[in-house]
Amino acid sequence: MPHRRLAFVLICACACGIAPRAAAAPRQTPRILLDQPARAVEYQLNRLTEDELTLVERNPGEAKYRPVYVALLTRKVPPNFRDEALAALVKLDKSTRARVLVDALARVRPEDTIVADKLIALLLAEPPAALKADRAAIAQTLDTASAPFALRGGYAALIFADGQPDAAWQLAAKHEGHLAELMRAIPNMPATGDGAKLRAQLFTPVSALIADGKDAALTAAALGAVGYTRADAATFDLLAQAVARTSDAAARSAAVRSLQAIPEAAWPPASIAALARAIVTKVGELPAAQRTEADALDVIQFGDKLAARVPGADGAALRRDLRALGVRVVRIQTLPEKLSFDVRWFAVEAGKPIQIALVNADAMPHNLIVGAPGSLEALGTAGGAMPMTTDPAVKPFVPDSPQVIAATNLVKEGDTERLALTAPKVPGEYIFVCTFPGHWVRMYGVMLVVESLDAWEAKPTVPVDPMTKQPFTSARN
C-alpha cells in the first residue's frame, strides 16, 4: 500500500475511534441520587452503560462521589477514566494505589475479565518498594477475601513484593480455593523482566501439583498455568501427556489453553502428531452435542493448528479426522494497535457448517463481515459510511447488501463473538472485513471456499490478496 494512503487510513482510523459516540443520539448527563443509602446508589450506577457512567458528575474533593469513582474503576471504561478514578480514590480514602486496586478487584463483575486484567496490570506495575510497604495490608485482606479477582491480584502483588513466590504460595495453601486463584494470576504476570523470572520460579510448585493430581480443580488450574511458567518443549510434553491421560474435560481444555502459551517454535517436532492424535481420540469420545461447545471447539481448533505442522499422509489423515469430529472453527484475532486481523486467509469446504470466533484483543471495537468475492471495497466503504446505530437490535456498520453473507456485531475489547455460518456452495475467494469506519483497507482477508478440502490439501492453491491483487505471501499477519 502506498505510504500516503496508509497515513490517511491511520488518521481516519484515529478520528473514527470516537465517531460512533458523536453520531449517536445526544447524550445527557445521567442523574444519580447520591444522598440515598449506599446500595441504592450502587444500584443506580450499575444500571448505567459504560458510556453513561463516564458522564456522571463527580468531584475528587467530595466523599459523596466515591461510589462514582468505584464504579468507574471497576467497569469497562477507557483508560483515562480508570486513571482518574484510581487517583480520586487514593485521595478520598487516604490510601495507596495498591490497596485501592486490590479492593476494586473484589468488586469487578465476574464476566469482566478484561477489567480485572487491567487492574492487575496496574497493580503489578507499582514499584516493588510500594508493594512491599503494603504487603501486610494486602496479606490481611487476603485472609478474609473470597472474590476470585481480588485473590488473583492480591497473591500476584505479594509475589512481586517479595521478589519470590514461596511465601505467597504457602499463604494461599492455607485457604480453600486460594492456590487455584494464585495460579490463575500467572498469565497476568508480565512475560518480561521480573515477571518472567517469577513465572519461571513458579514452574516447580505448579508442576508438582500436576504430578500429585489428587484435587481435580487444583490440577485443572495447575494445567492452565504451567504453560505460562516455562513455555518450552518440556512443558509442551508435560501438557501433551496430560491431554492424553485425563478424562476430565475441564482439565483437558485448561491444558490446551496452556499449550497455546507455548510458541510454535518451541514445540518438540516429535510430539506434535501424537498430541493431535490424542485430541482426535479424546474429542471423539465426547457425545456429539458436547463437541460443539466452546471448550471442545477450542480443543479441535488447536488440533487443527497441530495437524497443520504434521507433514505427509499422517497430517492429511489427522486433518480429515479432526474435520469429521464436528464444526470447523476458525479463530480470528485482532492484533492490538495494529489495525489488522491475525489471519489473512483460510480455506473451508463448500456447503459445510463453520464457525468464526472473532476475538477482539484490541482496545478499539471491531466487527467481521463475510462477503461475496470481489466485494471488499464495496462493503468496506458502504459499511464505514453508515452512522452508528442507536438500535441495539441492529448490527452497526453492516450494509444492507446481497453481498453480505454473514456479519458479527461490533465486538468490544476483550470480547469474543462466535459467528456460525454455512460456507457458500459455490467455490471462490470470498472476503472477510471489518467495516468499522476506516478499517477495511487494513482489516480484511480471504475465505477460500473449495469443493473438497481433501482434494485441495493434496494440491493447495493460495488466494489473491484483494488489495494488492497478488497471491498472499503468508496465511497469517
For the bound state, the minimum distance from the C-beta of residue 25 to Cu ion, rounded and expressed in Å, comes to 23
Residue 220 to residues 6, 13, 165, 262, 461: CA-CA distances in angstroms?
45, 41, 20, 17, 41
For the bound state, the minimum distance from the C-beta of residue 370 to Cu ion, rounded and expressed in Å, comes to 15
Residue type, 99: R
Between 142 and 443, name the residue whose CB sits nearer to Cu ion. 443
Tell me the site size for Cu ion, rule CB under 5 A: 5
For the bound state, the minimum distance from the C-beta of residue 465 to Cu ion, rounded and expressed in Å, comes to 18
Between 12 and 130, name the residue whose CB sits nearer to Cu ion. 12
Region near Cu ion per CB under 5 A, out of 33-41, 270-278, 300-308, 443-451 = 443-451
- Using CB under 5 A, which of 439, 440, 441, 444 touches Cu ion? 439
Region near Cu ion per CB under 5 A, out of 191-199, 256-264, 344-352, 432-440 = 432-440
Between 423 and 443, name the residue whose CB sits nearer to Cu ion. 443
List, in sequence order, every residue forming a beta bridge with 407; answer none if it has no partner.
Answer: 369
The reply on whether position 169 binds Cu ion by CB under 5 A is no
Are 437 and 384 in contact by the 8 Å Cβ rule? The answer is yes
The reply on whether position 366 binds Cu ion by CB under 5 A is yes
C-alpha cell at 349: 469446504
- Using CB under 5 A, which of 436, 448, 450, 463 touches Cu ion? 436
* Pairing mode, strands 353-359 and 328-335: parallel
Are 360 and 416 in contact by the 8 Å Cβ rule? The answer is yes
In angstroms, rounded to a whole number, what is the distance separating the alpha carbons of residues 462 and 456? 10
- Using CB under 5 A, which of 168, 209, 443, 453 touches Cu ion? 443
Region near Cu ion per CB under 5 A, out of 165-173, 208-216, 232-240, 435-443 = 435-443
What is the residue whose three cell numbers read 452508528?
A: 388
Between 82 and 366, name the residue whose CB sits nearer to Cu ion. 366
Between 207 and 435, name the residue whose CB sits nearer to Cu ion. 435
Question: DSSP alpha helices (H): ranges in 354-396?
Answer: 376-384
The reply on whether position 9 binds Cu ion by CB under 5 A is no
Residue type, 44: Q
For the bound state, the minimum distance from the C-beta of residue 366 to Cu ion, rounded and expressed in Å, comes to 3
The reply on whether position 368 binds Cu ion by CB under 5 A is no
For the bound state, the minimum distance from the C-beta of residue 433 to Cu ion, rounded and expressed in Å, comes to 9
Closest CA to 356 of 421, 307, 403, 400: 421
The helix/strand count (H/E) of the chain reads as 24, 9
Residue 341 has phi, psi (to 5 degrees) of -90, 155
Are 401 and 372 in contact by the 8 Å Cβ rule? The answer is no
Binding site for Cu ion (CB under 5 A): 366, 434, 436, 439, 443
